[in-house]
Amino acid sequence: QKEVEQNSGPLSVPEGAIASLNCTYSDRVSQSFFWYRQYSGKSPELIMSIYSNGDKEDGRFTAQLNKASQYVSLLIRDSQPSDSATYLCAVLGNKLVFGAGTILRVKS
């Protein structure tokens, strides 16, 4: 079992819709959870971090964490074509471990 699992996608959503990206992790002592966005040919860029159960909102982005279910998600409201990228879930236990990423395509 991989430490951090994501659906590779691609996830295709129409412009203006809500994109929902999901991630599960195996290490129960994980403390912090991050979502990175990576455009093709570019480096990962942090867009959201969450540390406690519940929701955290930042503009069009909402991160959701459920430690009991070992599940973290990212919602992107009013999706734009510029949101098309690979989204990497990262989990911090003893070290930062990345999932393989979910490709998101927003169609105009």
Partner 1 sequence: DAGVIQSPRHEVTEMGQEVTLRCKPISGHDYLFWYRQTMMRGLELLIYFNNNVPIDDSGMPEDRFSAKMPNASFSTLKIQPSEPRDSAVYFCASSVGSSRTDTQYFGPGTRLTVL
HSE-CB at 8 with a 13 A cutoff on CA atoms is 1
Tell me: does residue 100 bind partner 1 (CB under 8 A): yes
Tell me: does residue 39 bind partner 1 (CB under 8 A): no
Tell me how far apart the alpha carbons of residues 63 and 65 are, in angstroms, rounded to a whole number.
7
Binding region for partner 1 (CB under 8 A) out of 20-28, 59-67, 70-78, 91-99: 91-99
Tell me how far apart the alpha carbons of residues 41 and 62 are, in angstroms, rounded to a whole number.
25
- Residue closer to partner 1 by CB (options 31, 66) is 31
- Residue closer to partner 1 by CB (options 18, 46) is 46
Tell me: does residue 103 bind partner 1 (CB under 8 A): no
Tally of helices (H runs) and strands (E runs) in the chain: 0, 11
Pick one of 12, 14, 51, 107: the residue that binds partner 1 (CB under 8 A): 51
